[in-house]
A and B are shown apart, each in its own frame.
Chain A
Amino acid sequence: MLNSRYKKRFLLGLTILAIVVAVGAPFTGMQFISLRSVLDPVSAGTDYDIFWRIRVPRVCISFLAGAGLAISGMAYQAMFRNLLATPYTLGVASGASLGAACYVHLGFMFSLLGIPGISVFAFCGAVLAVAFVYGITMLRGKRLASSTLLLAGVAISFFFSSLILFIQYLSTFAHSFQIVRWLMGAISVVGFEPVRQLTPFVLCGSLVILYLRHELNLLMAGEDLSTSRGVNVNRTRQFTFFATSLMVGGVVAVCGPIGFMGMMAPHICRLIIGADHRYLAPATLLFGGVFLTVCDTIARTIIAPAEMPVGIITALLGGPFFIWLLVGRSSDKWGMA
């Protein structure tokens, strides 16, 4: 059993690791960049631009996306009392992917207020999915019942996935390849504009989840118990649903549907620090950010000058790590005697 002092130390260690990774990652890549080069634009030449215009924004985006996806997965797992829930369970990623597939298939090439058209379409798709899922759930009753929400999300997810396949089937080979490539998820940004666009989504969403950490603890224990402890279950679900959906919609619009992070990052943290969301929520947030940043650094280095989709690396690295933790730890952490 972990006492609270251990948990606080773990959080402190994770914070230090996050700072080290966030500061160190931009220096690492196809070629290392020296500290002098990033401070002196005149003598550094292209290194200065690579560092400040490509690598730093990319590290920021990977940290934000990793943190956002991980904490969203954690929130959904608590809300549905289902450890297999992911940020994409409610169809947000399918909605975003459908939006992106439409954009590619229709051959659009535009940007709106500096936001790439594909991100605009993807975000609209995500919002459409959220609206559908919420609407269907509310049609069944005035309350946001978790079973209806889950089933509506899964149904919308499958429906949108079928539409994506249909669009791919109708597309040219080049467009179809572009859609598949987008679906793998990748972090390729230039400049700070995407960082500025994504930050409010992840910041607001994460703050809402951190604020609801006591409620999430109780939702894990069941709806009746939560209500009897004084939780307004319906309101908590609404806040969680909208905060996480918009956060995931924002992340997927910028990076595509990066797999693995949202489901496994909370599990890995739960195995290390326990299920109490007072500690689990900040730990998952930091771990998600660190993990995706490390994965993205590897993705852009390992087969340089080419790049690997980061989604491949997250599962390749995270899967074995997770299995190692799972086998090494006692089963009681999972609620299995």
Chain B
Amino acid sequence: MNPPIVEFEHFSFVLEGHMLLSDISLSIDPGEFVSIIGPNGAGKTTLLKCLERIHHTSHTGIRIAGKSLAAYSQRELARVVSYVPQADGVLPLFTVAEFIMMGRYPYLSPCTPPRKHDKAVVAEVLELTGTAQFSRRHLATLSGGERQRVFIAAALAQEARILLLDEPDVFLDPCHQSEIHGLLSRINRERGVTVLLITHDINLAALISGRILALKKGSLVYWGDPEGLMQEDVLFDIYGKPFVFVKHPSIGKNVVVTDAPC
């Protein structure tokens, strides 16, 4: 059996006197698809930012690929972990191809232009993500769905074994959401990339993930398979609100719908 690729061991994170994450312990195997759910302010984004070392702490208590997070240089870490942040609305003034090439930064030398291999990787991820046809357009001219695919392509260009995504389907219509989810499943299945996905869609998390991690007020409240999550008491414990369960007509699994408005 392969050793875990991500391990949290009694990990806590304090920012400006506020305990944002408290005593998280879990381990994720290579090639897993993990969804991170929880109410707003639960610490989901903080958890990913700690993994990427965007938040500055001593980072004791986190191990990536068997090595303490603190032992990585930022460039080394970028070769193992890549990150698709939440869309912040500010668009860099680059073309799609230029932006995706930036994903090769951990491998680029400051004194030489990108090598043949870098260009080949960019071409490959352009194909994989279906972004090749608009590779010469500026990011600002793309639709929301196209833009998210470009951000995922840029993260894939890092050739990292772990892909972190912070609500990549936010602001997208159901069709584009499903396109992004299909792409992530394919990346996980075909490339063996470990995916950690933050989502507010409980049904999606249950359908797409191998395991689900639920946070509430910075603490781990659920860590296990989707079947275990889709229980009335478990979801009530996470969200403090009852859900109605219905059987999905085509796949036969339980899905949830919200009760009357709060």
> What is the interface of chain A, defined by CB distance below 8 A to chain B?
1, 3, 81, 143, 211-214, 217-218, 220-225, 227-232, 270, 274-276, 278, 332-337
Which of A224, A229, A335 touches B49 (beta carbons < 8 Å)? Answer: A224
B99: which A residues are within 8 A, CB to CB? 221
Q: How far is the CB of B262 from chain A (nearest CB, A)?
A: 32
Is there a chain A Cβ closer than 8 Å to B261's Cβ?
A: no
B95 in contact with A230 (CB, 8 Å): no
Q: How far is the CB of B205 from chain A (nearest CB, A)?
A: 23
Cα distance A274–B101 when bound, in Å?
15
Is there a chain A Cβ closer than 8 Å to B56's Cβ?
A: yes
Q: Which of B49, B77, B99 has the most CB of A within 10 A?
A: B99
B79: which A residues are within 8 A, CB to CB? 230
With A227-B52, A230-B74, A231-B105 already in contact, the answer to whether A1 and B85 are too (CB < 8 A) is no
B92 in contact with A222 (CB, 8 Å): yes
B141 in contact with A332 (CB, 8 Å): yes
Which of B78, B91, B138 touches A228 (beta carbons < 8 Å)? Answer: B78
Which of A1, A211, A218, A333 touches B93 (beta carbons < 8 Å)? Answer: A333
Cα distance A83–B136 when bound, in Å?
23
Q: Given known contacts A217-B94, A228-B164, A333-B138, what 10 new A-B pairs fall within 8 Å (CB)?
A: A211-B110, A214-B102, A214-B105, A214-B108, A228-B85, A230-B77, A230-B105, A232-B73, A335-B90, A337-B141
A213: which B residues are within 8 A, CB to CB? 110
Q: How far is the CB of B211 from chain A (nearest CB, A)?
A: 23
Q: Which of B76, B92, B140 has the most CB of A within 10 A?
A: B92
Is there a chain A Cβ closer than 8 Å to B167's Cβ?
A: no
B105 in contact with A335 (CB, 8 Å): no
Is there a chain A Cβ closer than 8 Å to B259's Cβ?
A: no
B74 in contact with A227 (CB, 8 Å): yes
Is there a chain A Cβ closer than 8 Å to B12's Cβ?
A: no
Closest 4 CB pairs of A and B: A230-B78, A228-B83, A275-B93, A1-B136
A223: which B residues are within 8 A, CB to CB? 54
Chain B residue at minimum C-beta to C-beta distance from A227: B54
With A224-B49, A335-B91 already in contact, the answer to whether A230 and B106 are too (CB < 8 A) is yes
B141 in contact with A218 (CB, 8 Å): no
Q: How far is the CB of B73 from chain A (nearest CB, A)?
A: 8
Cα distance A213–B114 when bound, in Å?
13
B74 in contact with A232 (CB, 8 Å): yes
Is there a chain A Cβ closer than 8 Å to B168's Cβ?
A: no
A218 in contact with B105 (CB, 8 Å): yes
Which of B49, B76, B77, B110 touches A214 (beta carbons < 8 Å)? Answer: B110
Is there a chain A Cβ closer than 8 Å to B98's Cβ?
A: yes
Is there a chain A Cβ closer than 8 Å to B129's Cβ?
A: no
24 A-B residue pairings within 8 Å (CB atoms): A1-B95, A1-B136, A143-B56, A214-B102, A214-B105, A214-B108, A218-B105, A220-B94, A222-B90, A224-B49, A227-B52, A227-B53, A228-B52, A228-B78, A228-B85, A228-B155, A229-B102, A230-B75, A230-B78, A230-B79, A332-B137, A333-B93, A335-B91, A337-B141
Cα distance A336–B89 when bound, in Å?
11
B94 in contact with A275 (CB, 8 Å): yes
A220 in contact with B110 (CB, 8 Å): no
Is there a chain A Cβ closer than 8 Å to B152's Cβ?
A: no
A229 in contact with B93 (CB, 8 Å): no
Is there a chain A Cβ closer than 8 Å to B82's Cβ?
A: yes
Q: Which of A218, A221, A230 has the most CB of B within 10 A?
A: A230
Cα distance A204–B74 when bound, in Å?
26
A229 in contact with B136 (CB, 8 Å): no
Is there a chain A Cβ closer than 8 Å to B139's Cβ?
A: yes
Cα distance A96–B43 when bound, in Å?
46
Is there a chain A Cβ closer than 8 Å to B103's Cβ?
A: yes
Cα distance A214–B112 when bound, in Å?
11
Is there a chain A Cβ closer than 8 Å to B88's Cβ?
A: yes
